[in-house]
Amino acid sequence: MRIVVLVKPVPDTTGTERLGDDLRLDRASSPPIVNPNDEYAVEQALRLVEAHGGEITLLTMAPAGATETMRKALAMGAHGGVLVSDDALAGACALSTARVLAAALATLEFDLVLCGIASSDGGGGVVASGVATLCGLPYLSYAGSVEVTDDRVRIHRLHATGYMVLEAPLPALVVVTQIAVGEPRYASLKGIMAARSRVIRSLSLADLGLDPAAVGGAAASTRVLGVRPPAVRGATRVVRGSAADAAREIVDFLDERRFI
């Protein structure tokens, strides 16, 4: 089975990221990591390949330096990667991103596309559905479990009151949640070493036959008008003491506020 996982480098989630004057991310302020939601997709892909055999290709649209971040996902066990990188893409909107990724997917052979529910920086959560639409792929979202048979994929789509069982013929695009895989694996040193020699192919817009004026920052369909930090949360209260005392304190706290 050939699986493509959409992976996005995002600023480290410890909260040191800064925006530049143009309200775009100052990439020097915070080292990039693999978008945590995408790690669940990589983990899901690894499990499918462990069960059924096959290959995993990472697909990323990001500045050229992103190969380093992609290697971290390769170290988990993915087999290769494609990085679409072009100066014209700085400031691209979600729609442009979907167009570029769809064009890149068209150059690849695959049975399944996996991705995370949203990026931790942009947080839009719409690129996946855009890609599926543009590629004409069945779109199965919020998967709490993923099963593949010969030519079909079946997922449990998480839902406020339970789950739905969805099934689609392959190739298809599945949005994977943490529920499906639990924690993503920690890359071993052997994995890190193996990742060094894996091939990451770089593609430009020209390679994909896309017009920079149509998908780049210049053509962005959305624009950031302003930013402000979130309101500071109230102080955390840490409950210490023996298990019994702590439990009583927590129950009292909740009871006072009529939560229970």
Partner 1 sequence: MIESIARVPAWPLALPFFVLGIAVFGLEMARHLRVFAAVAPSRPLHALTRRTGALVRYALLQTRLFADPRAGVMHYLIFAGFVILGVGAANAVTYGLVQGVVGAPLDGALWAAVLLLQNVAAVGALAAVAYALVRRLISRPARLAYTTSAVVILLMIGGIVLSELGALTFEAAAYGALPGALITNALAVPLEGIDAAILQGLFALCWWLHLALIVGFLVILPRTKHLHIVTSFFNVFLRKLEPRGQLPMLDVEREDATFGLRTLADLGWKDLLDGFTCTECGRCQEACPAHATGKPLDPRAFIMGIRHLADEAETGLNYIPNGPDVRRLPGMDDGLTPTAVARPLVDGAISYDAVWDCVTCGACVQACPVLIEHVDKIVGIRRNLVLEDSRFPREIAPAFTAMERSGNPWGQPASTRLDWTKGLKFPVPVARDLAAAGTLSDVEVLYWVGCAAAFDDRARRTARAFATCLDAAGVRFAVLGQEESCSGDPARRMGNEYVFQMLATQNVETLRRYGPPTIVTACPHCFNTIANEYPQLGGAFAVVHHSAYLARLIADGRLVPAAAGTDRGEGGGADGRARRRTVTVHDSCYLARYNGVVAEPRAVVGAVAGIELREMDRHGNRTFCCGAGGGRMWMEEARGTRINAERTRQALQTGAQVVAVGCPFCMTMMTDGLAAAQGADGVVALDVAELLAEALVAG
Contact residues: partner 1, CB under 8 A: 12, 14-16, 31, 33, 183, 185-193, 238, 240-243, 245
From first CA to last CA, the distance across the chain in angstroms is 49
Of 225 and 238, which CB lies nearer to partner 1 in the complex structure? 238
Q: Work out how close the CB of 254 gets to partner 1 at its nearest, in angstroms, rounded to a whole number.
A: 21
Instruction: Calculate the alpha carbon distances from 235 to 1, 175, 207, 232, 238 in Å.
Output: 49, 35, 52, 9, 9
Instruction: Calculate the alpha carbon distances from 96 to 24, 126, 127 in Å.
Output: 16, 11, 9
Of 30 and 177, which CB lies nearer to partner 1 in the complex structure? 30
Q: Work out how close the CB of 42 gets to partner 1 at its nearest, in angstroms, rounded to a whole number.
A: 14
Q: Work out how close the CB of 44 gets to partner 1 at its nearest, in angstroms, rounded to a whole number.
A: 17
Nearest CA among 113, 112, 109 for reference residue 151: 112
Of 237 and 257, which CB lies nearer to partner 1 in the complex structure? 237
Q: What is the DSSP letter of 213?
A: H
Residue type, 143: A
Instruction: Calculate the alpha carbon distances from 90 to 99, 100, 162, 198 in Å.
Output: 15, 13, 40, 26
Say if residues 242 and 132 touch (Cβ distance below 8 Å): no
C-alpha to C-alpha distance for 244 and 53, rounded to whole angstroms? 50
Q: Work out how close the CB of 197 gets to partner 1 at its nearest, in angstroms, rounded to a whole number.
A: 9
Q: Work out how close the CB of 192 gets to partner 1 at its nearest, in angstroms, rounded to a whole number.
A: 7
Of 34 and 112, which CB lies nearer to partner 1 in the complex structure? 34
Q: Work out how close the CB of 220 gets to partner 1 at its nearest, in angstroms, rounded to a whole number.
A: 30
Say if residues 235 and 31 touch (Cβ distance below 8 Å): no
Q: Work out how close the CB of 193 gets to partner 1 at its nearest, in angstroms, rounded to a whole number.
A: 5
Of 196 and 223, which CB lies nearer to partner 1 in the complex structure? 196
H or E segment to which residue 246 belongs? helix 243-256
Of 75 and 103, which CB lies nearer to partner 1 in the complex structure? 75
Say if residues 140 and 174 touch (Cβ distance below 8 Å): yes
Of 221 and 236, which CB lies nearer to partner 1 in the complex structure? 236
